[in-house]
Structure 1
Amino acid sequence: MHVVVFVLVHMFLYFLVSTFYLSFCCQWGHVLSLCLIYSFIFVP
């Protein structure tokens, strides 16, 4: 019984970390692409 709870908690934590990591990477990807676009526009 304790093993099942342990595995469920670890799966839940892994899910939270993976979703947070993916959203973080996506946000930084958007920021980097915006920076590249602005540098191409404003720097001839």
Structure 2
Amino acid sequence: MSQGGPPQAVNPVEQDSLITEMLAKRAFIIPKKKGRGLWRKQF
């Protein structure tokens, strides 16, 4: 474990939700640039 990090980063649940939020934003933004039809096919 790395020292000096904020206590919030140690919480696995908070870190997991943060990663999920980043992935959700990325999955939403990237296909939007290519076309809306692509986004609907993914889900």
TM-score bucket of the superposed structures, by smaller chain: 0.5 to 0.7
Q: What TM-score does the superposition give when structure 2 sets the normalisation length?
A: 0.56
Alpha-carbon distance between aligned partners in 1 of 2:11 and 2:34, rounded to the nearest angstrom: 34
Gaps of 5+ in 1: 32-44
Identity %: 7
Name the residue aligned to 2:21: 16
Q: How many residues align?
A: 28
Alpha-carbon distance between aligned partners in 2 of 1:19 and 1:10, rounded to the nearest angstrom: 14
Q: What TM-score does the superposition give when structure 1 sets the normalisation length?
A: 0.55
Structure of greater relative contact order (alpha carbons < 8 Å, 6+ residues apart) = 2
The structure 1 segments of at least 4 consecutive aligned residues displaced by more than 3 Å after TM superposition are none
Q: Which has more radius of gyration?
A: 1
Alpha-carbon distance between aligned partners in 2 of 1:26 and 1:13, rounded to the nearest angstrom: 21
Name the residue aligned to 1:30: 35
